[in-house]
C-alpha cells in the first residue's frame, strides 16, 4: 500500500490527466452504465447548533469502478470547515482510499484536498471545452478560495488562447494573494491578471465566469454579463446556498449539471430557481448532464447555443474515484510515496 501526501499527489497529477480520466469515465458510464456505481453521498452537518463555530459538513463518498478487467473502490472522506482560513488552513480537508475489489487490498491512501480541487476544476474544464465559445479571450474568477485556483488552471488548459483574467473576492487581500500565487505557480500561462474592486467590473467583459463561493443569493444579474458568456458555478453546494441569480438561470440558453441525482438535492442555484414562482426556469428546462455533453448527446444543442451557458457542479464520488484511481495506478507503477505493509 502506498501512502501519498499532498506533495506527492500534487507533483504527479496534472490538470490534463484529470480531465482525460474523467472524460474516459463519462464514456465508460455511457457505454456500460453498470461498471460505475456511486451511491448518493452521505452529508452530515457539523456544528449546526454551536454559535462558536461556523456550520460546516462532513461527507462520505464511496464509488466503485470496473475497467473491463478489474474493479476498484475509492472512498473519500471530506470535512468542510468554514473557519479554517482564519487558521491558515484549507476550508476543505479530505483523504481518499483506493482498494482492489478482487482481494480487498488497499492500494493507496492519499491526501484528497488537491484531488478534490483538481477533479472539481476538471469538470469545469470539460464543460468549458464543449460549452464556451471557441474564441474566448477573458475569464473572471469570482471567489478566490482554494477551489478557484485549479478552476482557473482548468479553463486555461482547455482555452489556452485566453489573455486576461479578472479577479474578485470579498476580501481584496485574498484576490491579491491569489494573483501572486497563480502567476508564480503557473508561469506557463501568459495571461494578464487584474484584481477588481467591484464584482461587476470583473464579470462585465468576461467570456467565461468561474464562480466558487458560499453565497446565499445571486452575485450578479443577467444584464451585468456578456450575452454569450459561459458560467462555471461550483459553489452553492447546499440547497440553501445560491450564487447564480434566478434571472441568469432562466436566461441561460443551456444549463448542464455534472450529476443529475446530486443536483436535485444540492444545487442550490437551480433548486431555488425551480421553487421560485416568479422564475420561469424549472427542472424540465435542464439541458442534460456532463456525460451527455462529453459523449456528444448534447452536441447539436451546444453547437446551436448562442446565449449564456451555465454549468452547475455539485460533485460525485465517481469523479473523485476516476482521478484517485489514476493517481493510485501511477503510484503502484512508479513506487511513489511511502510503501507500507498493512
pLDDT tens string for the chain (342 positions)?
Answer: 999 999 999 999 999 999 999 999 999 999 999 999 999 888 899 998 888 888 899 999 999 999 999 999 999 999 989 898 889 888 889 999 999 999 999 999 999 999 999 999 999 999 999 999 999 999 999 999 888 999 999 999 999 999 999 999 999 999 999 999 999 999 999 999 999 999 999 999 999 999 999 899 999 999 999 999 999 999 988 899 999 999 999 999 999 999 999 999 999 999 999 999 999 999 999 999 999 999 999 987 776 678 999 999 999 999 999 999 999 999 999 999 999 887
Count of other CB atoms within 10 angstroms of residue 185: 12
As a whole number of angstroms, the distance between CA 39 and CA 46 comes to 21
Instruction: Give how far Cα 129 sits from Cα of 83, 122, 155, 168, Å.
Output: 34, 10, 8, 23
- Residue 31 makes CB contacts below 8 A (sequence gap 6+) with none
Residue pair 267/240 in contact (Cβ under 8 Å)? The answer is no
Q: Which helix (H) or strand (E) holds 158?
A: helix 146-158
- Res 228: pLDDT: 96
- Residue 147 makes CB contacts below 8 A (sequence gap 6+) with 92, 117, 120, 121, 212, 234, 235
Q: In what order do the strands lie in the sheet with 192-195?
A: 192-195, 164-168, 138-142, 208-211, 230-233, 309-312, 254-257, 288-289
**Residue 296 φ/ψ region, left for φ over 0, alpha for ψ in the -120 to 50 degree band, beta for the rest:** left
As a whole number of angstroms, the distance between CA 8 and CA 13 comes to 9
User: CA angle, corner 326, sides to 320 and 327, nearest 5?
Assistant: 90
As a whole number of angstroms, the distance between CA 14 and CA 34 comes to 28
What pTM did the predictor assign? 0.93
Residues pairing with 77 in the sheet:
60, 95
- Residue 17 makes CB contacts below 8 A (sequence gap 6+) with 326
Rounded to 10 degrees, the C-alpha dihedral 26/287/270/159 comes to: 60
- Res 305: pLDDT: 72
| CA 324 and chain centroid, separation | 15
- Res 340: pLDDT: 87
Strand pairing report for 92-100 and 71-80: antiparallel
- Res 342: pLDDT: 72
Strands (E) across 56-161 are located at 56-66, 71-80, 92-100, 106-111, 138-142
As a whole number of angstroms, the distance between CA 216 and CA 244 comes to 9
As a whole number of angstroms, the distance between CA 18 and CA 196 comes to 30
Amino acid at each position: 500500500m502506498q501512502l501519498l501526501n499532498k506533495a506527492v499527489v500534487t507533483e504527479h497529477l496534472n490538470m490534463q490527466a484529470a480531465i482525460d480520466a474523467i472524460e474516459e469515465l463519462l464514456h465508460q458510464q455511457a457505454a456500460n452504465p453498470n461498471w460505475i456505481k456511486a451511491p448518493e453521498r452521505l452529508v452530515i452537518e457539523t456544528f449546526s447548533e454551536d454559535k462558536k463555530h461556523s456550520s460546516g459538513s462532513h461527507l462520505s463518498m464511496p464509488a466503485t469502478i470496473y475497467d473491463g478487467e478489474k474493479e476498484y473502490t475509492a472512498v473519500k472522506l471530506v470535512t468542510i470547515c468554514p473557519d479554517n482560513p482564519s487558521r491558515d488552513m484549507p476550508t476543505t480537508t479530505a483523504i481518499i482510499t483506493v482498494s482492489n475489489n478482487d482481494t480487498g487490498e488497499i492500494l493507496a491512501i492519499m491526501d484528497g484536498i488537491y484531488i478534490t480541487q483538481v477533479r472539481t476544476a476538471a469538470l469545469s474544464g470539460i464543460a468549458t471545452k464543449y460549452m464556451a465559445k471557441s474564441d474566448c479571450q477573458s475569464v473572471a474568477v469570482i471567489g478566490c478560495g482554494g477551489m478557484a485556483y485549479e478552476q482557473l488552471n482548468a479553463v486555461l488548459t482547455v482555452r489556452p488562447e485566453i489573455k486576461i483574467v479578472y479577479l474578485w473576492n470579498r476580501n481584496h487581500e485574498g484576490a491579491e494573494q491569489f494573483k501572486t500565487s497563480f502567476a508564480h505557480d503557473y508561469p506557463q500561462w501568459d495571461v494578464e491578471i487584474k484584481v477588481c474592486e467591484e464584482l461587476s467590473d470583473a464579470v462585465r467583459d468576461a467570456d467565461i465566469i468561474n464562480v466558487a463561493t458560499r453565497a446565499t443569493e445571486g452575485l450578479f444579474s443577467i444584464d451585468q454579463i456578456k450575452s454569450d458568456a459561459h458560467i462555471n458555478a461550483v459553489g452553492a453546494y447546499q440547497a440553501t446556498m445560491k450564487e447564480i441569480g434566478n434571472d441568469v438561470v432562466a436566461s441561460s440558453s443551456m444549463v448542464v449539471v455534472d450529476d443529475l441525482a446530486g443536483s436535485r438535492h444540492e444545487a442550490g442555484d437551480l433548486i431555488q430557481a425551480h421553487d421560485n414562482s416568479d422564475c420561469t426556469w424549472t427542472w424540465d428546462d435542464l439541458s442534460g448532464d456532463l456525460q451527455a455533453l462529453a459523449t456528444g448527446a448534447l452536441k447539436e444543442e451546444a453547437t446551436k447555443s448562442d446565449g449564456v451557458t451555465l454549468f452547475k457542479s455539485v460533485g460525485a464520488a465517481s469523479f473523485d474515484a476516476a482521478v484517485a484511481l489514476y493517481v493510485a495506478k501511477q503510484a503502484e507503477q512508479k513506487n511513489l510515496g511511502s510503501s507500507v505493509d498493512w
